[in-house]
Amino acid sequence: MELFRLLDRPWPVFASPFDTLTVPKGLHHARLSVLTQKLQSQKFSHALVYADKEHFANLHFLTNFDPRFEEALLLLSPTAEPLILVGNECKAYLPISPVWREGGLRHEVYQPFSLPDQPRSTSRSIEEIFRSEGIGSSSRIAVIGSKCYEHKHQSDLPSYLMDTLRDLAGFDGVENVTHWLIHPGGGFRIIASAYDIAVFEQNNVKASEAMRRMHFAMRSGITDHELMAEAVHYDGTPLSCHMTCKTGPKRVSLASPSGNLIEVGHTWSANVAYWGANVCRANWIAHDERDLPTAGQGYVKDFAGPYFAAVADWLEALDLGASCGPIHDRILEKLPFDTFHIELNPGHHIGYDEWPSSSFYPGSTILLRSGMVLQSDVIPSHPNYFSTRMEDGYALADHTLRKELARQYPHAWQRIEARRSFLEATLGIELKECVLPLSNMAGIIAPYGLSPTKILAR
């Protein structure tokens, strides 16, 4: 029996307005307090949280401040008010942080964080700053970058910061504790608040509606630039990674639009990614199988269809308390490597950054928990069939969190319930009650780019 079929039907419309999103009072103070308590319980004297334009999410989570242009560094200790170091230009951006606005965050301009050739004459050295914050030979420093490593003394912080810390506190006195925030099983940034989920839902809507418009605007003879300009309607929402749009015989994975023509018989893929959202799709520029090259014949039957069925099974396996190792193993059994060549984790967490970590890996004993936000990021490839994709965000929420979302963000909740109904009634995907689809394209795969109403279902 086939596990999938190809429907021809209009896409659903989830048209309720956006809720007003206001940062809850005290949210970031509470997060800083949790980190400070962790610091004390683990017998550290200080914590340093490093951020730059690309790796901003930990600092943003704690303070609502994300550095623009420059780097930034947050210093925490149990005995002093938090201090944030910023460059010349980020000083003017500090009011974005409610902690700073309310007087709970000191700041100092550290000009070496600024862009090249900007003024450097008025700031103290990093050693002076560290010493004045009490860092010395008896200190034990917890550093938080963006990645964890095998050894606790390895870190992705710039060497001039790490060297200075080690000069002051000794090599063994400086440890990488980034896992406190991003470990897939216990990092406290992995558990999103109702506010975070509402932000991510809104951004998934924007990203998925842009992707929808791309599908219905796609036509032979226009360029990838023209397609993006016509369809995305970018409104300035911060990006979590570059938007991409790739097509043509010289397509390069992860590339930005480059002027390539959209033509029948070629492949196409694109993504739109905002904070907490990355909606990605891949298909053939074709009306149906007759437009595919000879080597690509059987694309739906042998590749896109089985992929849809496997990811549908992945979605149905998501549940509070479910173990992630068996979910990982099951989808790779259904999508054998010799055909689907899946080289990355079949799914991962998503937050204000696109990939903080993943619970889905061989032997994982991590259990899914309320507040986790997951990306259905299962990336196949094949030399003849190319690829396909169903990449959207899903939140996990227990009864209490669901009630909080429904009460505080009723329009988002209305969309979530409508998506769940569409997934079950039309696509045959039966989600557990705790699984909340955040994207308006959740579950939708249109394998032929010039026939977007032809979508896969169970």
Q: Is 70 exposed, middle or buried (0-12, 13-18, 19+ CB in 10 A)?
A: buried
**At residue 251, does pLDDT exceed 90?**
no
Average pLDDT of span 75-98: 97
Of the candidates 308, 217, 224, 206, the residue with the CA atom closest to the CA atom of residue 270? 224
CATH topology of domain 5-19+193-457: Creatine Amidinohydrolase (3.90.230)
- As given in the structure block, the two tokens for residue 371 are 């507040």
CB atoms within 10 A of CB 250: 9
What's residue 252's pLDDT? Answer: 87
Report the phi/psi class of residue 24: left, alpha or beta, with left for phi > 0 and alpha for psi in -120 to 50: beta
Q: What is the mean pLDDT of residues 229-249?
A: 94
Confidence at 1, pLDDT banded by 50, 70, 90: low
| 249 pLDDT above the threshold of 90 | no
What is the tens place of the pLDDT at every residue in 119-148? 999 999 999 999 999 999 999 999 999 999
Q: Give span(s): CATH 3.90.230.10, the chain.
A: 5-19+193-457
Q: What angle do CA 74, 77, 81 make, to 5 degrees?
A: 75
Q: Specify the pLDDT at position 15.
A: 86
The predicted-structure confidence for 348-374, as pLDDT tens digits, reads as follows 999 999 999 999 999 999 999 999 999
Question: Average per-residue pLDDT in the chain?
Answer: 97
**Domain range 27-182, CATH class:** alpha beta
- CA–CA distance, 190 with 240 (Å, rounded to integer): 16
Q: Where are the alpha helices (DSSP H) in 74-140?
A: 98-101, 126-132
Pick from 93, 191, 78, 81: nearest CA to 142: 78
pLDDT band at 260 (very low <50, low <70, confident <90, very high): very high
> Which residue spans of the chain are classified as CATH 3.40.350.10?
27-182
Q: What is the pTM of this model?
A: 0.96
Tell me what the mean pLDDT of segment 76-97 comes to.
97
pLDDT score, position 166: 98
Are 455 and 298 in contact, with CB atoms under 8 Å apart?
A: no
Q: Could you tell me the two tokens for 442?
A: 């959740």
Tell me the per-residue pLDDT of 26-56, one tens digit each, with 9 for 90 and over.
999 999 999 999 999 999 999 999 999 999 9
**pLDDT above 80 (res 437):** yes
